[in-house]
Amino acid sequence: MRPTHDSVFPHLVWLHPAMSETARAPTLADLPFFRSADPATLAKVSATARWRTVEPGQVVVDDDEPSTDIFFVAAGSVRVQLRAASGREVLLNEFGTGEFFGELSAIDGAPRAANVTAISRSRLCIIPAKTFLDFIFANPVACHGLLKTLTAKLRLQTERTLEREALPVRLRLFSELLRLSRPRSGAPGERVVSPPPPHHELAARIGARREVVSRELSDMTREGWLARDRRAIRILRVADMQHAVTSELRAPAA
Position 17 pLDDT exceeds 70: no
Taking the C-alpha atoms of residue 196 and residue 206, their distance in angstroms, rounded to an integer, is 15
The pTM of this model reads: 0.79
Query: In order of start, what are the domains of the chain with their CATH numbers?
Result: 2-152 (2.60.120.10), 167-250 (1.10.10.10)
Q: Of 11, 19, 129, which Cα lies nearest the Cα of 66?
A: 129
Taking the C-alpha atoms of residue 85 and residue 192, their distance in angstroms, rounded to an integer, is 35
Is the link from the previous residue into 111 a cis peptide, with omega within 30 of 0? no
Q: Give the side-chain half-sphere CA count within 13 A for 10.
A: 0
HEC string for the chain: CEEEECCCCCCCEEEECCCCCCCCCCCHHHCHHHCCCCHHHHHHHHHHCEEEEECCCCEEECCCCCCCCEEEEEECEEEEEEECCCCCEEEEEEEECCCEECHHHHHHCCCCCCEEEECCCEEEEEECHHHHHHHHHHCHHHHHHHHHHHHHHHHHHHHHHHHHHHCCHHHHHHHHHHHHCEECCCCCCCEEECCCCCHHHHHHHHCCCHHHHHHHHHHHHHCCCEEECCCCEEECCHHHHHHHHHHHHHCCCC
Q: What are 95's strand-pairing partners?
A: 78
pLDDT tens track for 167-213: 999 999 999 999 999 998 888 889 999 999 999 999 999 999 999 99
Q: How many CB atoms lie within 10 A of CB 25?
A: 10
Position 2 pLDDT exceeds 60: no
pLDDT confidence bin for 20, thresholds 50/70/90: very low
Check if the beta carbon of residue 76 is closer than 8 Å to that of residue 1: no
pLDDT confidence bin for 85, thresholds 50/70/90: confident
pLDDT tens track for 219-247: 999 999 999 999 999 999 999 999 999 99
